[in-house]
């Protein structure tokens, strides 16, 4: 069985973790049971079964499977600790269990951790945020004879969903929604329930070497839109500096425009009533606590600065944004994945949909984001770093390239192979294009090189980010080709991404056990109907029961989203989360402006 996986891997084909688990659970007789204590004190059991390994290569494969499974659990759920129950009389299992502390670098300093250990950096920051630093993560090993019986925790309950009531809270108020991404920032403002401003700003946060370079533009954008929306609230929209709202406006132009509009507004300059912020990192209890994403790579690699001190300034972003909000007004932050789920829930709630199973979504952008909103409308306080999942134990040729090479299957922030980061979002498109097109459509590959969308840097293939960031152009090129008849090689790229999403669906179901079975997709990859249909085709090949939905114009049910659908030059798929962030900010507003809100 394991040898058949080796043949797939050597041939460059994926060996999906879900397939390995299914095979091992069916024939494995050696218990390796994981009892994971979650942040809330409940215990989740993952009773792995392992077959016997023949030879060192098979033993290494078995260990890699276990490490990947535990890594996925920690990346998604986080944990206060993990207890492993195994057969002490099995020397190989004993070594595997006792080696987990070293593999995950439990006792290492954050800055020294690599690979699997990187997920514990996030976990430690979360535990520190929840316990004030008093709780430490542990891995303990016990004999299978001592394994306790664990009852499944009851389903979490809470207040009734309020999704459909949130739009009413915008009356008479000025609320900003901000969607921070890896290549751009999108902002939307509601003034008295009307979508009056949308703004897009291109940036490259991974190139920032100081926290202020990352937080500064976000604060300036907030200042700019606060001034412009104040003029709208005062019926002075004609005085808004439209040039500063264009995508191409520079930081200097925006700062100058903000100053001029503030002076012009005078007594009409008012604070925002609320800010909703979608941020691409782990957010626990309204604080940015992750710190291990590619967006902060520049900060991590700056040798002269203390990274933890720099990241603390990003953690303090909410407090800095509060300067633009009325005293006591909410600044509410959540990861971009849950924000997408929340957005879908608000829009579906406005259409009268059944919210009893909650929502689970993926954002297909710079990375693959994931979001989960429970049936009661709450968002779990867990890392949910699904993009870190290891879904492929094969594709061995792709492991030989460094992470920065588009052909690599290695994660950009951990170096681990088979990570979903390279199987979903734009990185998957680039990787599959570089892998397939030289042999299947060499003329298309050459055109990408000629246009500067791909670039050879020695023996490394990249998508340039300087002097001009070509990532969006590169993605649009392949999406355009896949949308044309006869471009089978480019179309297969998106079908394969659909297959990866089907594998992800199976893995998230196994670890998270959400009630929601459908997946709603946000982001640039689904802005083209033809590309979305190809993704659906690929997913159906593997999981016929999986229903994928696109966050397109059909998502527009609330007043703000309907206005966005009519906004010239913008799409719901791209700007939905900025509008959703407006509604998210409303969670912190009382319902005094409406009945029973």
User: How far is the CA of 227 from the CAs of 276, 316, 522, in angstroms?
Assistant: 17, 23, 30
The burial class, CB within 10 Å (0-12 / 13-18 / 19+), for 180 is: buried
Taking the domain 163-336+576-586, which CATH number applies? 3.30.420
The rounded distance, in Å, linking the Cα atoms of 175 and 229 is 9
pLDDT below 50 — which residues of the chain? 156-159, 592-597
Find the radius of gyration of the CA atoms of the chain: 24
The rounded distance, in Å, linking the Cα atoms of 221 and 200 is 10
User: How far is the CA of 309 from the CAs of 273, 285, 386, in angstroms?
Assistant: 30, 20, 26
Report the C-alpha dihedral over residues 414, 419, 424, 429, rounded to 10 degrees: 80
Q: Residues with Cβ < 8 Å from 98, sequence gap 6 or more?
A: 141
Partnered with residue 199 across adjacent β-strands are 187
SS3 154: coil
SS3 46: strand
* Contacts of the segment 234-240: beta carbons below 8 A, 24+ positions apart: 234/265, 234/268, 236/264, 236/265, 236/268, 237/196, 239/264, 239/265, 240/197
Q: Do you find a cis peptide bond into 467, omega within 30 degrees of 0?
A: yes
The rounded distance, in Å, linking the Cα atoms of 212 and 214 is 5
The pLDDT score that the predictor gives to residue 377 is 63
In 298-367 the beta strands, taken as DSSP E runs, fall at: 331-335, 359-364
The rounded distance, in Å, linking the Cα atoms of 357 and 375 is 5
In 513-590, alpha helices (H): 529-542, 559-565, 572-586
Q: Residues with Cβ < 8 Å from 536, sequence gap 6 or more?
A: 498, 548
The pLDDT score that the predictor gives to residue 594 is 36
The pLDDT score that the predictor gives to residue 128 is 84
560, 584 contact by CB (below 8 A): no
The pLDDT score that the predictor gives to residue 376 is 66
State the pTM of this model: 0.81
- Buried b or exposed e, range 483-510, using 16+ CB within 10 angstroms: beeebebbbbbbbbbbbbbbbbbbbbeb
Alpha carbon of residue 261 to chain centroid: 35
Residue 336: which of 578, 501, 24 has the closest Cα? Answer: 578
Q: Residues with Cβ < 8 Å from 154, sequence gap 6 or more?
A: none
- Whose tokens are 């949910």? That residue is 384
Half-sphere exposure of 498 (CA within 13 A, CB side): 26
Q: Residues with Cβ < 8 Å from 571, sequence gap 6 or more?
A: 527, 552, 553
The pLDDT score that the predictor gives to residue 557 is 93
Partnered with residue 81 across adjacent β-strands are 37, 138
H helix count then E strand count, the chain: 20, 17
Q: Which fold has domain 368-554?
A: Nucleotidyltransferase; domain 5 (3.30.420)
Q: pLDDT digit string (tens) for 223-273?
A: 999 999 999 999 999 999 999 999 999 999 999 999 999 999 999 999 999
The pLDDT score that the predictor gives to residue 53 is 94
* Every domain range in the chain assigned CATH 3.30.420.40: 368-554
The burial class, CB within 10 Å (0-12 / 13-18 / 19+), for 314 is: buried
The rounded distance, in Å, linking the Cα atoms of 319 and 313 is 10
The pLDDT score that the predictor gives to residue 552 is 67
570, 543 contact by CB (below 8 A): no
């Amino acid at each position: 069985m394991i040898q058949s996986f080796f043949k797939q891997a050597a041939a460059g084909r994926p060996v999906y973790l879900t397939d390995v688990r299914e095979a091992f659970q069916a024939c494995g007789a050696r218990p390796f049971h994981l009892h994971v204590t979650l942040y809330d004190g409940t215990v989740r059991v993952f009773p792995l079964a392992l077959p016997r390994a023949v030879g060192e290569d098979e033993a290494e494969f078995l260990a890699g499977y276990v490490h990947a499974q535990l890594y996925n659990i920690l990346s998604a759920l986080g944990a206060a600790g993990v207890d492993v129950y195994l057969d002490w009389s099995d020397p190989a299992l004993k070594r595997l269990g006792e080696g987990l502390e070293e593999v995950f670098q439990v006792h290492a300093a954050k800055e020294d951790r690599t690979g699997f250990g990187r997920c514990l950096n996030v976990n430690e920051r979360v535990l520190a945020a929840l316990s004030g630093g008093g709780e430490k993560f542990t891995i303990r090993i016990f004999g299978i004879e001592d394994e306790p019986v664990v009852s499944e925790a009851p389903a979490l309950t809470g207040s009734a969903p309020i999704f459909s009531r949130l739009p009413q809270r915008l009356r008479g108020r000025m609320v900003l929604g901000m969607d921070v991404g890896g290549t751009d920032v999108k902002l939307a403002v509601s003034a008295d329930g009307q979508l009056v401003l949308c703004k897009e700003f291109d940036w490259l946060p991974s190139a920032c070497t100081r926290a202020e370079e990352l937080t500064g533009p976000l604060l300036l954008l907030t200042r700019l839109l606060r001034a412009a929306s104040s003029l709208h609230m005062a019926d002075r929209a004609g005085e808004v500096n439209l040039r500063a709202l264009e995508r191409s406006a520079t930081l200097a132009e925006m700062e100058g425009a903000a100053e001029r509009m503030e002076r012009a507004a005078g007594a009409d300059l008012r604070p925002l009533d609320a800010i909703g912020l979608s941020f691409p990192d782990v957010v626990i209890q309204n604080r940015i606590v992750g710190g291990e994403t590619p967006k902060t790579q520049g900060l991590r690699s700056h040798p002269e600065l203390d990274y933890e001190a720099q990241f603390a300034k990003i953690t303090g972003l909410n407090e800095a944004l509060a300067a633009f909000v009325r005293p006591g007004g909410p600044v509410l932050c959540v990861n971009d994945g849950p924000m997408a789920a929340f957005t879908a829930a608000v829009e579906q709630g406005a259409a009268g949909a059944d919210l009893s199973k909650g929502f689970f979504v993926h954002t297909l952008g710079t990375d693959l984001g994931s979001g989960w909103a429970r049936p009661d409308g709450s968002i779990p306080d867990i890392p949910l770093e699904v993009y870190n999942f290891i879904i492929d134990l094969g594709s061995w040729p792709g492991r030989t390239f460094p992470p920065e090479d588009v052909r690599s299957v290695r994660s950009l922030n951990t170096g681990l192979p088979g990570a979903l980061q390279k199987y979903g979002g734009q990185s998957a498109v680039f990787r599959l294009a570089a892998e397939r097109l030289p042999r299947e459509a060499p003329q298309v590959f050459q055109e990408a090189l000629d246009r500067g969308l791909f670039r050879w840097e020695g023996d490394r293939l990249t998508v340039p980010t300087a002097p001009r960031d070509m990532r969006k152009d590169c993605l649009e090129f392949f999406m355009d080709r896949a949308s044309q008849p006869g471009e089978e090689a480019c179309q297969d790229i998106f079908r394969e991404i659909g297959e990866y999403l089907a594998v992800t669906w199976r893995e998230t179901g196994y670890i998270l056990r959400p009630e929601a079975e459908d997946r709603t997709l946000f982001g640039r990859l689904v802005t083209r109907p033809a590309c979305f249909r190809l993704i659906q085709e690929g997913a159906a090949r593997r999981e016929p029961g999986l229903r994928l939905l696109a966050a397109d114009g059909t998502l527009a049910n609330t007043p703000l989203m309907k206005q966005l659908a009519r906004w010239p030059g913008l799409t719901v798929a791209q700007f939905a989360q900025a509008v959703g962030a407006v509604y998210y900010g409303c969670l912190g507003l009382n319902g005094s402006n409406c009945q029973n809100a």
